[in-house]
């Protein structure tokens, strides 16, 4: 069904997925899951298997992230805290979540002064925190950068990322599978904050995937990752487009507002694909009367994985299932599509929006 460009993209994606499987294997919580069980549970539920599970030298890890004013962000911090509690050789120090760049900089400076063994940081603003992260690296403290990248490669030893472009590709491919034989299908998009690179990457992946099956985005609006913003943007979209076949909404938190607008408008002629993987949207998927058919996961386990990797870096250890004797420089997590067929596999891991 898909063209050469999509196949090439997914060959590249397969390499990333393979690397991700190695990561999940060597850091897996469940020995059976490490052996290949797909239903491997939450990343924060139990201690990992293999050589990496063996206690090592006690290390102090500092964690700093934005305020948990968003369901996904709250899940990020909770998973990181739970992960730190699983290891008897980890003393995890969690700073209060903040959207104040200067306060987050001071948190990192405090970690440096305390001479912690490693720092895990999800920056509110990656560029603004780059300099202090470099200071930490120069002080001999390995930094694990989560989700929002610094503006210099010298600012982090390891970076863990979600796949924003891949989210768009996954959403687009799902819609192509459903509507690819309808060249006149009306596809709509409700983006997040347009000024953010992550939104631009999601939209680019979506557009590229649709183009490979002869579809395009007919109507597009942008929201702001909030319930209120999602409702307002969706209301505008529904007024502008009297007929729609499919909608991709970038963010499941703002999707709560999107669904409110859909209900208020009395519209149900289309199906909707969500983004991020909230429990709320997964329950919608289970509801046969809902317009929501799928959601694309943007893992809320990134900081939890960051804690695991920071522990290994601080202890001078590698990842057990890799031949390489060092922790990788960058890890990008996969963006799978959740549908009625596999929702049970993902629901327990999902965050509440």
pLDDT at 124: 92
In the prediction, which pLDDT does 309 show? 97
Region 207-236 average pLDDT: 97
Give the mean model confidence (pLDDT) for residues 292-306.
Answer: 96
Range name among 65-69, 146-150, 290-294 with the lowest pLDDT average = 65-69
Residue 142 has pLDDT above 90, yes or no: yes
What average pLDDT does this structure show over 217-234? 97
Alpha carbon distance 119, 320 (integer Å): 21
Per-residue pLDDT, averaged over 46-63, amounts to 79
CATH architecture for the domain at 164-297? 3-Layer(aba) Sandwich (3.40)
**Residue 96 pLDDT:** 94
- At 49, which helix (H) or strand (E)? none
Residues 51-66, mean pLDDT to the nearest whole number = 93
The string of DSSP letters for 133-182 reads HHHHHHTT--EEEESS--SSGGG-SEEEE--HHHHHHHHHHHHHHHHTT-
Structure tokens that stand for 146 in this block: 């989560």
Contact 353, 281 (CB under 8 A): yes
121: enclosing H helix or E strand: strand 118-121
pLDDT at 180: 85
Mean pLDDT of 125-140: 97
Do residues 84 and 307 make contact, with C-beta atoms less than 8 angstroms apart? yes
In the chain, where does the domain assigned CATH 3.40.50.2300 lie?
41-162+301-317, 164-297
Window from 15-29, 264-278, 287-301, 311-325 with minimum mean pLDDT: 15-29
pLDDT the model gives residue 22: 34
Cβ proximity of 138 and 303 under 8 Å: no
Q: What is the pLDDT of residues 89-129, one digit of tens each?
A: 999 999 999 999 999 999 999 999 999 999 999 999 999 99
Question: What is residue 287's predicted lDDT score, i.e. its pLDDT?
Answer: 97
Instruction: Quote the pLDDT of residue 186.
Output: 98
38 contacts: CB under 8 Å, gap ≥ 6 = 345
Dist CA 141 CA 135 (whole Å): 9
Three-state secondary structure string covering 202-223: HHHHHHHHHHCCCCCEEEEEEC
Q: Identify the CA nearest to 290 among candidates 268, 275, 258, 261.
A: 268
Query: Cα-atom radius of gyration of the chain, to the nearest Å?
Result: 20
d(CA 53, CA 26): 9
Does pLDDT of 341 surpass 50?
yes
pTM here is 0.81
Q: Average pLDDT, stretch 236-265? A: 97
Tokens of 32: 């059976």
pLDDT at position 77, please? 94
Phi, psi of 61 (to 5 degrees): -120, 130
Beta bridge pairs of residue 92 = 61
pLDDT, mean of residues 311-318: 95
- Mean pLDDT over residues 152-159, rounded? 97
Reported as a pLDDT band with limits 50, 70 and 90, residue 4 is very low
Alpha-carbon span 232 to 260, nearest angstrom: 10
Q: Cα–Cα distances in Å, from 233 out to 133, 136, 165, 188, 340? A: 36, 41, 22, 12, 27
> How far is Cα 91 from Cα 105, in angstroms, rounded to an integer?
21
* pLDDT computed for residue 32 by the predictor: 35
Domain 41-162+301-317 has CATH 3.40.50.2300: yes
For 171-184, write each residue's pLDDT tens digit: 999 999 999 899 99
Higher per-residue pLDDT: 155 or 180:
155
List, in sequence order, the alpha helices (H) in 40-163: 71-86, 101-113, 130-138
> What is the number of other CB atoms lying within 10 angstroms of the CB of residue 321?
18
Q: Is the pLDDT of residue 58 over 80?
A: yes
Q: Any idea which residue has 């990656």 for tokens?
A: 126
Averaged confidence pLDDT in the chain: 87
Give per-residue burial for 273-309: e unless 16+ CB within 10 Å, then b. Answer: bbbbbbbbbbebbeeeebbbbbbbbbbbbbbbbbbbb
């Amino acid at each position: 069904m898909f063209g050469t460009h999509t196949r090439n993209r997914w060959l590249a994606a397969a390499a990333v997925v393979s690397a991700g499987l190695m990561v999940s294997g060597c850091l897996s919580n469940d020995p059976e899951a490490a052996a290949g069980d797909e239903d491997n549970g939450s990343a924060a539920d139990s201690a990992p298997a293999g050589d990496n599970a063996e206690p090592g030298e006690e290390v102090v890890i500092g964690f700093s992230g934005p305020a948990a004013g968003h369901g996904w962000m709250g899940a990020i911090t909770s998973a990181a805290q739970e992960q730190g509690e699983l290891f008897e050789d980890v003393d995890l120090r969690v700073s209060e979540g903040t959207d104040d760049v200067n306060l987050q900089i001071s948190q990192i400076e405090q970690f440096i002064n305390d001479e912690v063994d490693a720092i895990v940081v999800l920056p509110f603003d990656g560029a603004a925190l780059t300099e202090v992260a470099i200071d930490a690296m120069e002080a001999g403290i390995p930094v694990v950068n989560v989700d929002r990248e610094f503006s210099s490669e010298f600012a982090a030893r390891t970076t863990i990322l979600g796949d924003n472009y891949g989210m768009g590709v996954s959403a687009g491919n799902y819609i192509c599978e459903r509507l690819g034989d309808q060249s006149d299908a009306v596809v709509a998009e409700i983006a997040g904050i347009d000024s953010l690179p992550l939104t631009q990457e999601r939209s680019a992946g979506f557009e590229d995937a649709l183009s490979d099956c002869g579809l395009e985005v007919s109507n597009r609006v942008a929201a702001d990752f909030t319930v209120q913003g999602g409702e307002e943007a969706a209301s505008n979209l529904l007024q502008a487009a009297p007929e729609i076949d499919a909608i991709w909404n970038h963010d499941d938190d703002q999707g709560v507002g999107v669904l409110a607008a859909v209900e208020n408008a009395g519209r149900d002629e289309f199906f909707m694909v969500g983004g991020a993987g909230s429990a709320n949207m997964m329950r919608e998927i289970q509801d046969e009367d809902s317009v929501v058919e799928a959601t694309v996961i943007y893992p809320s386990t990134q900081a939890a994985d960051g804690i695991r990797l920071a522990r290994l870096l601080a202890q001078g250890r590698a990842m057990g299932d890799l031949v390489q004797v060092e922790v990788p420089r960058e890890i990008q997590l996969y963006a799978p599509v959740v549908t009625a067929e596999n929702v049970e596999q993902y629901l327990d891991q999902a965050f509440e929006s």
